[in-house]
Every structure is written in structure tokens, then in C-alpha cells.
Structure 1
């Protein structure tokens, strides 16, 4: 299998105009015609917003504003044909204009298509560490706003972890990176890649739905700059900045009118076929080494004690 990553996220929302302001403040640029509520990252990965009752959207897997469909990219026509062979026996499978469609066991509508994202080359200054000095006579950058490079991963609450994991591993070729015992699994698209493109989490109450979507940025300074910029625009922080020990990533989560949260992140572990998945106990310390609850206020540069919006 040759899944390359997330190509597009489509949301059904109660207020498309508000969501468009959110995603513009978040750092994505308009894609398509004016007023279409389509936006893109630097690589061309897209986010689209539709009215919650738009008939072109598939049924929702939870009430309210939420993600309604996700498109995964593949490398080429041969890879698409290989995925077709795996999916074609599903009862809800369909194909139109080279795009495969179905639903996963959790009720999320999927599409698989040949990827259209473009490589992105950006200047990223190194970090100086003890015994490894790479940035000389140059200061680290300060960002006034984040500009996400691509869509890195999505996180779902699932009702049947084993069945949903099996779907992504056996039919789409995802690899296990790490696991929280009897609770969750981190999956990446292929053997070589970032720590996870998909995180499936089963709660004791059996809830299903969207937890968050995550966007890759250049460095820790852009995570901070992006989070402060969102606070300046009156968007509330869920949690961050902080660091996940399970993936080594620095993060900042912002509450979103689309449902769930949107995350800036960077510095995740890069894995190969030599990586041995870990069996971890799910706990606060295993998920978050440290984090600022409620964020940092743009004006005072101190911890934000109350949510803004």
C-alpha cells in the first residue's frame, strides 16, 4: 500500500462563515472561488466547510459541527488500484472519476485518491544543543502567525477499537507506531514516516466522534507564534503549549467552531521499519509531559486563566 497522508478534510458546520474566519486566522489560505469556504495548507492539503445540512455531505457520525469526510492520498494509479482491490468488496464501496469511497467501521466517510500535494521547501533554522552547534551568528525566528505546511494527523473517538484498527491496517496498510493498552492505537500511513497520521481512542463510555485534527508547522517557535496569534484573535486555547512524550512533539491545541480542536505541532518522531511499537499505559504523564492549561495570553505573555471564546 502507498497511502501518503491526508489530502482533504470536509466539515459540516453550523456557521461556515465563522469557521472560515477561524481557519484563516489559523493560517490556511483560500482555495477555489471566493466564498466557497475551501482552504489549503502550503502543500495543498485542503480543508472545506459546508452547511451542516448540505446534501452533498455523507451522514455525520456525531451530532453538531464535525468532520464528515476525510480523503487519503496515494502515490499513483498503481497504488490506487491496489487499494481498490482491498476495498471493492465492502458493501458501501463506490468509485467515481478515479476516487474510491467507503466508510470505516466507526462511521467516518472516506475517500482515497491520487495525491495532489506538492513538496514544500522552507528555511528552518537549526536548534543549538550541547555539543551540536548549528546556528551561528543567526537568531531564531519569531512568528506573527503560523502557516501550516500540511495536515499531519486526525484523532477519532471510536466505539470498537479492534475492528477500526483492523480496517486501517488490513485494508489501507497502516502501521502501528505505539499503543495504549486496551485504550488506543497510534497508526502511521507507511513504514517510513512521522509518528502517526491517525490516532484511534476508545473511551469507557463508548463515544464516537472527532477529537482533533493536527497541522504540521516548521518549528517550536511557529507553534508558539501560531498559538499566540490565535489568542490575539480571540480564539480560546484548549491546552498548550506543551509536549507529548509518546511522539516527542511540541503542541498547541485551539478550540474550533468546526467541532473538536485544531492543533499546531512539530518535532514528532520519525519512524522506520526498525521501530518496535510500545505497549504503554494510558495516563496523563504518558500523554503529556508538560502543558499550559488554557494557553498563554497574547497581551501579557502569561498563562491564560480564562477561555476567551
Structure 2
């Protein structure tokens, strides 16, 4: 394994190497959101429905799902996505990301020591993908001494698989896809091509996909369709569906490609969260890309 977990009780699954060399991006590290509502509303949703633990400091909410200092951050502002944090292994990997991005003509901004402290990371840089998504690349995220304790007894599947996945609709699809594949080392898992839409699913570790891209949307205004959190058991998904029924947007169903059994909720920022279990993992030595004609095998209907 490439990285040792700070907390051995966190559910941990193996990383992945590609073609004998490790990818530049290791995992989805964290996501930042904005809300124009009460921060306490997001805190209640994160704790009571999702089973994360949350603390508010200086008006900023940070939610934990494992041994990391935070996985989701929420602050006041226009509702929506603020940033996506992608993790790399170490300072050499971060320097390589910077080199590739700058060589391709993308601006890279080193984060200040104050910003790194606020994120709880050793080092971080910022950039923007061709669709306009604000990105942060980092290594060395803080693992606090205090253990993660879910208020609902939920166990999240993270470790080398990272936080989960994110799905975006982007107007500059080809350029954005090339950005993640050529510059950041993502590999295609499979492609959805059906009557109701298309999407390309990409992985950067053994999780079936950490990122998916769909064409469309407004220029310079990428839309996060949803993000995903994986938990350990079907019962944990079912109990969350019961707890958060008022925010439920899609009832339980199974996806056709990663086999995730999941339901969906609307977050207080207006972005959906998929909440699932049982996602398959990829071994690049044997995996082959497939073309699928629908995203769900069954279910995922509106309540």
C-alpha cells in the first residue's frame, strides 16, 4: 500500500498503480460548499441524515467521515460548489502536478501558509479546470488525535479510495476530459451512452470512479450533479433513507456500472448526494472499458 491510515478502524481498501507508475492524483480528498441558509441546517443534515460528525468554527462547518480533519466544508455564500480538493501522495507528486499544469498553460497558485493551516494540509496549490471548476491539490492532510465517532453509528468506506466521487456537467467536455486524463493521470472506467444522456466515468484509485463528466451546461459554469459517499452496509443506507426522507430525491436503486446500491438526498446547498454501499473496485491489470446504455439497473425513482 502507498499510504498508511492514521486510524486502523477506518474501512480501508487498496490503492492502484497504472502501467507500473502511480497516478498523479491519488484520491478525492474533500469538497467545499456554500450556502445562503443557516450553517446549522447543513450541520444537522450532515450529522442526522448522513451520519458525519460536524464542528463549526468562525462560521465554517467542517464534517468528518473518517480519521481526516474534514471531508466536507460549508461556508456562507451563494449556494453551490466552492472547491474540490484532490489528494496527491507527497511533495514530489504535488510538484509534478504543478509542472504538468503549467507546461500545459494552466495557471497554478501556491496556497499561503494560512490557507494550508485552514485546510489542515501540509502543502496545497490551486488551479481551475477547463470547465471552470475550482480545484485544490494537496498532500499531508491532518489526522487529528480525536477519533471520528459517527452520531448514527455509520461507517464510511474511505481510506485509499478517498472521500467518494463527484459528477459534473461541463460545457468544454473534450478539453476537460483531456485535462483529467492527460495532465492528472485519470483512467476511463466506462462510458454511458444512452437515449437520456452520456457520461464518462474516470478512476484514480481502485474505486470504480472518483470523477464522472457529462457534456452540457453553461459556459464557464460547471454544474456539480452530485457527489457520493459510500458506507459499509445496506442497513446503513436504508436507515439513512428513513432518517432523511424529507430530503430524499431518489429512492434506493442499483447502478449498472459500479453496482452501487444507493439513494439520493438534496443537500442544503441544492446539490444532490448519493449515499450508497457495495461499489465494485477496479484492478487495472484486468479491467476493460465498457459501453453502457443506462446508469441504473433498477430503482432510483423519485419518492
| Aligned-partner SS, 2:228 | strand
Note the C-alpha offset of 1:36.
Answer: 3.0
1:156 maps to which of 168, 177, 199: 168
Q: Deviations over 1:181-221 (max 9, x none)?
A: 4821000114xx01100011124888831111111100222
Q: Counterparts in 2 of 1:12-161, with a 5 A limit?
A: 12-15=34-37, 16-25=39-48, 26-31=50-55, 33=57, 35-44=59-68, 45-52=70-77, 64-89=78-103, 90-96=105-111, 97=113, 98-116=123-141, 146-150=154-158, 151-161=163-173
| Contact preservation (8 Å) 1:101, 1:110 | yes
Change (3 A) 1:170 1:220: same
The CA RMSD measured in Å over matched residues stands at 2.4
> What is the alpha-carbon distance in structure 2 between the residues aligned to residue 39 and residue 178 of structure 1?
31
Aligned residues: 251
2:201 maps to which of 175, 186, 201: 186
Mean Cα deviation higher: 69-78 or 89-98: 89-98
**Structure 1: 5+ residue stretches without partners:** 53-63, 119-142, 296-309
> What is the alpha-carbon distance in structure 1 between the residues aligned to residue 60 and residue 152 of structure 2?
26
Q: Deviations over 1:104-142 (max 9, x none)?
A: 111110010014376xxxxxxxxxxxxxxxxxxxxxxxx
| Contact preservation (8 Å) 2:51, 2:152 | no
Change (3 A) 1:268 1:185: same
TM-score, scaled to structure 1: 0.74
Q: Which has the larger radius of gyration?
A: 1
Note the C-alpha offset of 1:35.
Answer: 4.9
Note the C-alpha offset of 1:251.
Answer: 0.6
**Structure 2: 5+ residue stretches without partners:** 1-22, 114-122, 144-150
Q: Deviations over 1:82-110 (max 9, x none)?
A: 21211224343111353111001111100
